[in-house]
Amino acid sequence: MRRVVRSTAVALATVSALVTAGCGSDPETPGIYSPSGWPGMHADARNSDTSPVTGSRSISPAWSRPLGAPTSTYASVAATGQIFVTTSAENGCTIWSFEMDSGRKRWCTRLGPGGALSTPLVDKATNVYIGEDGAMNSFNEHGQLRWRTVVSGTPVSAQFTGDGNLLFVTHFGVVSVLNPQNGREVVPSYQLIPAPTADQAQNVPLIPAAQGLDRCFLGGPECAVAQPPAIDLASGRFYLTVWRPGAPSAALVGMRYADGELTEEWSTTTLPGGSTSAPVLSADGSTVYVNDGRGALWAVDAGTGEPRWHHDIGYDAAAGPSVSSDGLIVPAGGSEGRLLALRDNGDSAEVVWERSDVLQLGVPAQTAGGTGYTVVREGTDGLAVLTFDTATGETADTDTLPGAAGFTVGTSVGPEGEVLTQTLLGELFVLKP
């Protein structure tokens, strides 16, 4: 409840604390997503972990560089090839930008600890949007601050809406939509955790905007929202997970941004152990896919929140699945992760293929042309990027990540078919066709 009190108080101060840089008339916002690259954490508005680029089946390591601190999110890539990553460095820079061709640093700057929670979102003009403790920020491609808007909590990875605005949810459960040009609110924010009454809010101190961030990676009620939303750009419906006060686990929630307001349409707590991954939306917007806390993948009706089916994948996936435009579902890896592909048959899931000969320790990415990439165990404790045929699961290529250990936190694909992955320990690897 104290978190909600703080949310209400800070929300009242948002407008007065807004800092803007640059004005002029509002830009044409529709079509703000880059036509290629990897603009957000899970690639696109529906969190699909897919790329329209035709992936190469023969890639090789181009360069790598240590980031100086652990990282828990994907790299994003602009259509120009400019790379953006965040780290949890206690000193020095926490957001970095690199050139794709050489790995040379273009710029870096320091944000609050909450910056490590998100992947920077990049638009077609190579402006980036990234949250930190108590604020959402926008930088241009040179690292200059465009605007900074105070918010309640720490924003999780943002998304663009169908009308080109910026939508995000803070880890305290406050949903906001901002104008990407100046950072001003487009509609009133929405609190997923009910606000207290005036009597309840009397004489309650504000809680720091970073409180509970240490629970976001593993999940917990102190971090109400730990994953980015998935958005249907055509209808304005979007989906997220939220751990409400007193609940035993996180719920899956359906909302809508339309007609000048944010509304909650449904909420379900059906999933055993709660909803544990970022929701992934099917290409037609009819189905939401999400992992539960018991090793199963669920398909949920996007309009009603009613479960359609669940499938035991045999392990706890570290992230949501990659879902292609034609419906091929490739679950993410985990400490005991296999590599498999599923097909949604409406009321059940069909196993298309499965490989028990590899241990998947990364998050898969599918590309055009039926090519996929993920990270697997190599030898005793090494890591390698596995290139595979998404139709059959057969290996097309395997490339060692020199010196890599542990597991990787995401796989991104660049505009020229480059493959990027980062280890949790904090090293970025780039492979090229």
120 φ, ψ to 5°? -60, 135
Q: What are 202-255's pLDDT values in tens digits?
A: 556 667 777 878 878 777 788 999 999 999 999 999 999 999 988 898 999 999
Position 5 scores a pLDDT of 36
User: Do 288 and 300 form a contact (C-beta atoms < 8 A)?
Assistant: yes
pLDDT score for 6: 39
The more confident residue out of 37 and 197 is: 37
Residue 165 confidence (pLDDT): 97
pLDDT at residue 375 tops 60: yes
How much is the average pLDDT of 413-428? Answer: 97
Question: Residue 35: pLDDT above 80?
Answer: no
Residue-level pLDDT at 195: 66
Question: How far is Cα 48 from Cα 150, in angstroms, rounded to an integer?
Answer: 29
Give mean pLDDT, residues 146-150: 98
Helix ranges (DSSP H) in 68-173: none
Q: Is 222 left (phi over 0), alpha (psi -120 to 50) or beta?
A: alpha
pLDDT tens digits for 315-328? 999 999 999 999 99
Report the alpha-carbon distance of residue 376 to residue 237 in Å, rounded. 35
How does residue 157 score in pLDDT terms, banded at 50, 70 and 90? very high
CATH code of the domain in which 45 resides: 2.130.10.10
Q: In this predicted model, what pLDDT tens digit does every residue of 244-301 receive, in sequence order?
A: 988 898 999 999 999 999 999 999 998 998 888 999 999 999 999 999 999 999 999 9
Number of domains in the chain: 1
Between strands 230-231 and 190-191, the pairing is unpaired
- Tell me the residue range of the domain where 342 lies: 2-24+32-432
pLDDT at 347 over 80: yes
pLDDT for position 204: 62
